[in-house]
Structure 1
Amino acid sequence: MALLVPSLSSTISRLKSLSKPSFHNPLRALKTLQLHYKTSFISSFAALSMSNSNFPKTLIQNPSKSADDLVILGIETSCDDTAAAVVRSSGEILSQVVSSQADLLARYGGVAPKMAEEAHAQVIDRVVQEALDKANVKELDLSAVAVTIGPGLSLCLRVGVQKARKIAGTFNLPIVGIHHMEAHALVARLIERELQFPFMVLLISGGHNLLILACNLGQYLQLGTTIDDAIGEAYDKTAKWLGLDLRRSGGPAIEELAREGDPESVKFAVPMKQHKDCNFSFAGLKTQVRLAIESKNINAEIPISSASSEDRSSRANIAASFQRVAVLHLEERCERAIGWALEIEPSIKYFVVSGGVASNQYVRARLNQVVKKNGLELVCPPPSLCTDNGVMVAWTGIEHFRVGRFDPPPPADEAEDTILDLRPRWPLGEEYEKGKSEARSMRTARMHPSLTSLIQASIQKQS
């Protein structure tokens, strides 16, 4: 998204949720504003924007179609999948296309940003056109284009945003910038139409662990997050170290092998037992797994398909033990978060689990027990909507477009060097005061020697 000016009402409605980018070109912003608002409002907004340059960029206009008759194209390129979909506001999914980078993942043992960017660039035109063709719609039939602008890899995000802006500019379509994690959360409302705010969300993927209380559209309270590695990263690394096939990503590979193993055979410690918050940490568990693999002399260069019976059994036991402890960590954090959330919003009925790792059936089954025990109902999108996809982007675009949160069409002849709004790091919601992690604070302190000295001095003074 290029740099645009928000409306005041739209801005205020999102202050509680989304991270606030700054205006790089305030003079251009003021000119845009003058096209849409009276002079009296301009003066008050100008003073407000100068006092707080971190406002989000949304603009309220009159939608071109009824809110019940929207057709939106969603584009997703935040990481390693190029995805596009066309969705109606009725909830009908007209098309869904995903181009995977599985071969690149297997070759490099994970996401290589530059290679991922090139792969996106090679297929983005085909993927979007295929989504339009399958939906049997033309660009002029669209109400708007929605595109992920963050969080994610900036090189990858750029490919999707440039494509979205090209379409929007050429066909004079509004454009909606989408938060990747919000899209994972809100796609559940497409599947479960009874899902009303407020509700709880656990987002689990290769890059994120988030426990969110979704109070309303655009208003989220962060109960817990990861202080280092996300669970999907732990699955991927464990799969790599065990010599598994990464073309399907580490999660499915570990889940399949774990069915052959004994989950109690390796006594891994559950992370962060001493910290009574809702935050996550998988870096230490990864270290435990790596040491266990080394102790068994497992050679990752030998693929699991070529391993001896004894070697395969050792790998399966480690996979099963890792998965049990990793998910137990999720269970403990979710149980505490449910208690906190019910104190804040006693009317909560649903607990949504989404993101790539939510495709794991073992994860779903274990979390379903926790959720039911606390009187809530588990909602999980189907696996095809848990992993990164264009449907979730299009649907979230519909949700925001309905309430007037979108940007006007970009110029049809937009300059190639236009500064785009890409947000590789974009928090979702405010952090719950009770949920601030001592572990996170100490980790931050270790990154800043001056702060470490202050903490040590304080401890000595107290003793």
Structure 2
Amino acid sequence: MLSRSVFRSARKNVSPLKYRRHARNFTVLALESSADDTCAAVVTSEREILSNIVVSQNELHASAGGINPYVAIEGHQRNMARPGAISRALDEAKLEMGQIDGIAFTRGPGIGGCLSVGSNAAKNIAAALRKPLVGVHHMQAHALTPLLTSPSDSLPRFPFLTLLISGGHTLIVLADSLNSFKILATTVDESIGRAYDKVARMLGLEWGSKGYGAALEAFCAAGIQKFGVPVQDDLPPVSLPSPGKLSFSYSGPHSNIERYIYSQGGIEHLDEQVRWKLALAFQQAAVGQLEEKVELGLKWCYRNGHPVNDLVVSGGVASNQYLRERSRLDSDFSSIKLSFPPVQLCRDNAVMIAWASMHRFLAGDFDDYSIEHRAKWSIEDL
């Protein structure tokens, strides 16, 4: 049966009778369509991932150099319906729709029109088959993913600190329970993922198979193989905004790169090695800012009576291998366990949506079929 550590807080206000009624192996079909990937998955309350389908729209957006919302909406409409992501998720799980116990979907935040595709599909299926329905907060799902993917004997324990980094968000959040989150730091301008995209475009990199952020990471790694490890003094200086403050800023670091390129007469006047040094300088500064702010967040927790034992790093940017290899905490926090989800579950996926809905299904806490999506939705407002 279910691990007590996973669902303890979810059961606090649930009667024993209600919990026993739902304490069997519960199977969820989940849909995710908040941005440019169409996702469906089947997950059980026994922490089994029966299927994980991600239909990428990468080729559709490559020519535009970023996500075009109208193109993304049309892509979701094509990819979600039969014989698309939903059908493939059921086939991979070797289940019929009648064997699904509940339907979950990403309610928000995200691109409104994209959210509506997954929301409408989930509501229609649930209503037609009279299945319970749960709408999930996208960033909550990222934060809770390690409760599914970590070994059962080393699950993150509440309260834990979580760094949520993606194309739309850069957050440090204190997770007190499955449903209670406090934002300690956010970005004052743009997210780390968006800054990665902008710098990659400035440097003339191609969109690639996984977008600009992955292209910049690959360019940095390939340059070390080609040119060797650079002397730090040879790299252009990139600022660390607001040192000592619990807030992020990524417009400054990307502006440093932009000004340097302009001072040299444009990207066409820079050879590959110089462009590589610019990319490397930005990447080091971007990740360095994460490290500094996380340590400030941990100090805040201890000063304010919220000692944590675990740090979760999740979201699309958490798939960055440079970040994973470099991530370390100051000796003052050496006892804190660092958890990353598997790379394939850092980027948008429906597995995390299914898992984030599970405690609500088991508690009998369902949404009405008329529930609306929320393009803007703070994780503090769950």
Q: Which residue of structure 2 aligns with residue 152 of structure 1?
A: 110
Report whether the alignment pairs 1:78 with 2:6.
no
Is residue 2:194 matched to residue 1:233?
yes
CA-to-partner distance for each residue in 1:401-444, whole Å, 9 max, x for gaps? 22332225x3xxxxxxx7x51111101127xxxxxxxxxxxxxx
Pick aligned residue for 1:284 from 220, 239, 252:
252
Letter in 1 for 2:114: C
Q: Is the 8 A contact 2:301 2:307 kept in 1?
A: no
8 A contact 1:198–1:215 mirrored in 2: yes
Give yes or no for the alignment of 1:385 onto 2:345: yes
User: What residue identity is the alignment partner of 1:285?
Assistant: P
> Given that residues 139 and 167 in structure 1 are in contact (C-alpha distance below 8 angstroms), is that contact kept between their aligned partners in structure 2?
no
Q: Which of 58, 61, 68 is matched with 1:112 structurally? A: 68
Task: From 194, 197, 207, give the equivalent of 2:168.
Answer: 207
Aligned partner of 1:146: which letter? A
CA deviation profile, 1:92-141 (whole Å, cap 9, x unmatched): 10000001111133211111111111111111111111001100111111
Distance 2:311 2:103 in 1: 29
Q: Does 1:400 align with 2:360?
A: yes
The equivalent of 2:128 in structure 1 is 170
User: Which 5+ residue runs of structure 2 have no aligned equivalent?
Assistant: 1-9, 225-229
Q: Could you tell me which of 75, 88, 94 is aligned with 1:136?
A: 94
What does 1:222-371 align with in structure 2 at a 5 Å threshold?
Answer: 222-247=183-208, 248-259=210-221, 260=223, 262=230, 264=233, 265-273=235-243, 276-299=244-267, 311-370=271-330
Asked if structure 2 preserves the Cα contact closer than 8 Å seen for 1:76 and 1:83, the reply is: yes
Instruction: Quickly say closer, same or farther: Cα 1:80–1:64, change in 2 above 3 A.
Output: farther
Per-residue Cα deviation, 1:222-261 (whole angstroms, up to 9, x for no partner): 1111111000001111111112121311222111212326
Preserved contact between residue 85 and residue 95 of structure 1 (Cα < 8 Å): yes
The aligned amino acid for 1:209 is T
TM-score with structure 2 length normalisation?
0.87
Q: Counterpart amino acid of 1:133?
A: D
CA distance in 2 between counterparts of 1:144 and 1:190 reads: 18
Give per-residue Cα distances to partners, 1:122-177, cap 9 Å, x unaligned: 11111111001100111111111110010000000000000101110111101001
Q: In angstroms, what is the RMSD of aligned CA positions?
A: 2.3
Amino acid at match of 1:67: A
2:69 equivalent to 1:99: no
How many angstroms does 1:66 deviate by?
3.1
Mark the runs of 5 or more structure 1 residues left unpaired by the alignment: 1-9, 14-60, 301-307, 411-417, 431-463
Asked if the contact 1:223/1:337 (under 8 Å) is kept, the reply is yes
The alignment partner of 2:47 has SS state of: coil
Q: Conserved in 1, the CA contact under 8 Å of 2:164 and 2:313? A: yes
Q: How has the CA–CA distance of structure 1 residues 105 and 342 changed in structure 2, closer, same or farther, with 3 Å as cutoff?
A: farther
The AA in structure 2 aligned to 1:145 is I
Q: Is the 8 A contact 2:101 2:131 kept in 1?
A: yes
Q: Give the Å deviation of 1:375.
A: 2.5
Check the 8 A contact 1:201/1:213 in 2, yes or no: yes
SS across alignment from 2:90: helix
The separation in 2 between residues aligned to 1:104 and 1:293, in whole angstroms, is: 29
Among 361, 379, 382, the alignment partner of 1:428 is 379
* Superposed displacement of residue 342, structure 1: 2.5
CA distance in 1, matches of 2:331, 2:261: 33
* Residue 358 of structure 1: how far off its partner (Å): 0.3
Query: 2:19 touches 2:363 (CA, 8 Å); kept in 1?
Result: no
SS, match of residue 38 in structure 2? strand
Shift of 1:372: 7.8
8 Å contact kept, 1:351–1:371: no
* Paired letter, 1:80: D
Change (3 A) 1:155 1:330: same
Following TM superposition, by how much is the alpha carbon of 1:62 offset from its aligned partner in structure 2, in angstroms?
5.0
Distance, in Å, in 2 between the alignment partners of 1:250 and 1:372 is 35
Contact 2:174 2:181 in 1 (8 A): yes
Residue range with higher mean Cα deviation, 219-228 or 291-300: 291-300
Contact 1:242 1:298 (C-alpha < 8 Å) held by counterparts: no
Contact 1:230 1:282 in 2 (8 A): yes
* Offset at residue 346 of structure 1 (A): 4.9
Whole-Å separation in 2 of the counterparts to 1:87 and 1:321: 41
Give the TM-score normalised by structure 1.
0.72
Contact 2:51 2:90 in 1 (8 A): yes
Question: C-alpha distance in 1, partners of 2:129/2:330?
Answer: 48
Instruction: Count residues in correspondence.
Output: 354
Shift of 1:298: 4.8
Quote the Cα distance in structure 1 between the aligned partners of 2:363 and 2:303: 29
Quick one: distance in 2 between partners of 1:168 and 1:361? 39
Distance 1:106 1:182, change over 3 A: same
**CA separation of 1:371 and 1:165: change in aligned 2, threshold 3 A:** farther
3-state DSSP of counterpart to 1:407: coil
Distance in structure 2 (CA, Å) of the matches to 1:163 and 1:240: 35
Change (3 A) 1:93 1:370: farther
Are 2:187 and 2:248, in contact at CA under 8 Å, matched by a contact in 1? Answer: yes
The one-letter code matched in structure 1 to 2:63 is: R
